[in-house]
Structures are given as structure tokens and as C-alpha cells.
Amino acid sequence: MNIFNLPGIPLTEELTTVLTENKNIRIERIVSTGQVSDWYDQSEEEFVILLEGNATVEFEGGRFVKLIKGDTVLIKPHERHRASYTSEEPPCVWLCIFYG
């Protein structure tokens, strides 16, 4: 698989593909084309790499992290967050690693 082999763009919904997983780790590729997400409150730690596009991750309490291609962010367990902005062109390609 090529991580940049994308489906037809634009997408009506965010596309999540689980690349691999076991009891300790899950690695996902997420493709966004302007979508925003609901709030997440997950039990795992999440290491995020934005491989393509521009995005903003909003944390509960009003902290915003603007990401450009190549940026990373570490999200702690139960740290409420959401994608409040994702670019449509270029599309956002996220690599998300969940563990713990």
C-alpha cells in the first residue's frame, strides 16, 4: 500500500483505514477533505503526524494546535480534542498511532 494512494477526492466523509493493529497498538491512516470531527475522549495515547495538508486540532479549554505538513502532536489519554479545521486542497493525510 502507498500511504498517498488516495480515494476519489473530495470525500463526503472522513476516511479511516486501519493499517495494522494488535493488543498494544493501532495505526490508522485518516484522509480529511474539509471535514471537522466531534469531540474525542479516548483511553489510549495518540501520536499524530500530518503527512499532507493543513489542520487545526482543538483541545478542551480553548487550546488550538495548527498543523502543517510534517507536524506532529501527542494527545494524552482522556485529553478531549477534535479536528476543528482540515484543508480540502490539499487533502489532509494523517498517520495516527494509538497505544497504551
Looking at 2.60.120.10, 1.10.240.10, 3.40.50.720, 3.40.50.12160, the CATH number of the domain 15-99 comes to: 2.60.120.10
Going by pLDDT thresholds of 50, 70 and 90, the confidence category of residue 9 is confident
Distance CA 38, CA 25 (A): 23
Averaged pLDDT for residues 21-49: 97
Instruction: Say yes or no to pLDDT of 10 above 80.
Output: no
β-partners of residue 16 are 30
pLDDT of residue 1: 87
What's the pTM?
Answer: 0.92
Percent of the chain residues topping a pLDDT of 70: 100
Averaged confidence pLDDT in the chain: 96
Q: Is 79 helix (H, G, I), strand (E, B) or coil?
A: coil
Instruction: Say yes or no to pLDDT of 16 above 90.
Output: yes
Distance CA 12, CA 33 (A): 8
